[in-house]
Structure formats: structure tokens, C-alpha cells
């Protein structure tokens, strides 16, 4: 009997009720998605081939598509998120392709992408170095990847401040704070972790900026 294929993500699967809850909860952060899109757009040329890995409900891809003439694809391991993101893009009148796929085996040719974005998902990959190698493989030589995620050295107080600044019910705030402290932070990486993994994966440039509870990691082949 063949060995069971390893699970490509850490933690619980984002399907059904959980995916719907996440989509509703993160919709309150739409201004964050808009700000991130505005930060990325000036770096992109018209017609850029962009991949968002693990786009979830698709909010960032949608906001980025509003800012320029790009070819954007989202690849997610969750069937529920592919469905939700596709419907969100349709409602927004935008032509974005969301498809099922695995960050550890991206369905793109080598050297075919101008930009790769991964927001709030990298810490959940079961084999982060393999995922980074796939990013490097599929990027063009002069292209860029951006990973935005939580840091594992963030304090409880900083998490509390971050959650408090978010709109939403007290119940959601309590659930979100608990999730950050007791689940997501354990999976997250430090600045030195990211530098080491990027080097192992073959990236020649890795620039990291820390902010709030997370960090922005800019990578170039």
C-alpha cells in the first residue's frame, strides 16, 4: 500500500463553515488589503503576470486588480476559498482566475511570473523551504516575491493592541486574540528564520521589514 501523501498545510483545513467564518471576519480588514495593494502596484508593469498563493477569499487580489491591467491568478489548497474568491471577483466585475493548487508544487512554468504574493499563509505551509523553492522556480530572473506574515517573537501585549484596533464584536476579538497567541504564533517564523530559509531556497536577495505583529519579506531570485 503506497504511503499517504503528507498534508500540505499545518493546522486545520479551511473548508466549509471555517472558510465562511474567516471570509466574513477578514472582510472587516478591507482597508488593510487596499493599502497592501497600493504598496505593491507601483512596482508592477502593465500586463504583469501575478500569482497570489493562498488568497483565501480573494480580497487582496481583487483590490490589486482594481489598480492596473494585470493578469492575476490565485492558487489555494481550499476548495471553499476557491469558490468564495471566484464569486467575490465575479461580483466585483473582475477577471481573476482562482484555482485549486498546492504551494509546494505550483502549476506554473519556470520563469513565468513577474510577482508572487503570499499574505498571512506562509506559516501554515508544511514544508516552507519547498514552497520558497517553488516561488523562486516560477519567478522571472528580475521578478519579486512578497511574503507578509506574523512574527513568532511578537508579544501578547502587541497582539492585544493589534486585535483591539480592529473593528468587530467582542466575541470575534476574543477568538482572534486567542488564535494569534495560542495557534498562529507557534507556527510563525522569526526574521532570522526567514533569512535562513530564503538562502536555502536559493534567493539572492531577502529584505525584511518588521511592523506591528508581522513582517514584510521581499525576495528576488
What is the reported pTM?
0.90
The residue-averaged pLDDT of 173-180 equals: 79
Of the candidates 97, 85, 73, the residue with the CA atom closest to the CA atom of residue 26: 85
- CATH 3.40.190.10 is held by the domain 16-150+191-220: no
**Contact partners, residue 24, CB within 8 Å, separation at least 6:** none
Write out pLDDT tens, residues 139-173. Answer: 999 999 999 999 999 998 998 888 887 756 666 67
What pLDDT, on a 0 to 100 scale, did the predictor assign at position 119?
97
**Separation between Cα atoms, residue 124 and residue 93, nearest integer Å:** 30
| Average pLDDT, rounded, for the chain | 91
Give 100-142 pLDDT, tens digit per residue: 999 999 999 999 999 999 999 999 999 999 999 999 999 999 9
pLDDT of residue 176: 81
Share of the chain above pLDDT 70, in %: 92
Per-residue model confidence (pLDDT) at position 171: 62
pLDDT given for residue 11 in this prediction: 63
- 57 pLDDT more than 90: yes
Alpha helices (runs of H) in the chain, residue ranges in sequence order: 16-26, 30-40, 59-65, 79-91, 128-138, 156-164, 170-179, 185-187, 191-200
Q: Where are the domains of the chain?
A: 16-150+191-220
DSSP-assigned letter for residue 67: T
Q: How confident is the model at residue 9, as a pLDDT?
A: 65
pLDDT at 4: 47
Distance CA 194, CA 218 (A): 10
Amino acid at each position: 500500500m503506497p504511503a499517504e501523501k503528507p498534508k500540505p498545510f499545518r493546522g486545520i483545513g479551511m473548508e466549509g463553515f471555517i472558510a465562511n467564518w474567516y471570509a466574513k471576519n477578514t472582510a472587516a480588514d478591507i482597508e488593510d488589503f487596499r493599502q497592501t495593494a497600493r504598496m505593491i502596484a507601483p512596482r508592477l508593469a502593465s500586463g504583469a503576470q501575478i500569482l497570489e498563493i493562498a488568497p483565501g477569499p480573494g480580497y487582496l487580489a481583487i483590490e490589486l486588480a482594481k489598480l492596473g491591467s494585470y493578469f492575476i491568478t490565485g492558487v489555494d489548497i481550499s476548495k471553499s476559498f476557491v469558490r468564495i474568491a471566484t464569486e467575490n471577483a465575479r461580483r466585483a466585475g473582475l477577471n481573476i482566475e482562482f484555482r485549486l493548487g498546492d504551494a509546494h508544487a505550483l502549476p506554473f512554468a519556470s520563469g513565468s511570473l513577474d510577482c508572487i504574493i503570499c499574505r498571512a499563509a506562509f506559516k501554515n505551509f508544511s514544508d516552507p523551504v519547498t514552497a520558497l523553492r517553488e516561488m523562486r522556480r516560477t519567478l522571472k530572473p528580475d521578478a519579486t516575491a512578497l511574503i507578509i506574515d506574523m512574527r513568532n517573537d511578537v508579544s501578547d501585549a502587541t497582539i492585544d493592541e493589534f486585535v483591539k484596533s480592529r473593528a468587530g464584536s467582542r466575541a470575534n476579538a476574543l477568538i482572534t486574540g486567542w488564535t494569534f497567541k495560542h495557534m498562529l504564533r507557534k507556527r510563525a517564523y522569526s526574521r532570522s528564520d526567514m533569512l535562513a530559509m530564503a538562502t536555502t531556497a536559493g534567493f539572492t536577495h531577502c529584505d525584511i521589514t518588521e511592523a506591528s505583529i508581522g513582517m514584510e519579506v521581499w525576495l528576488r531570485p
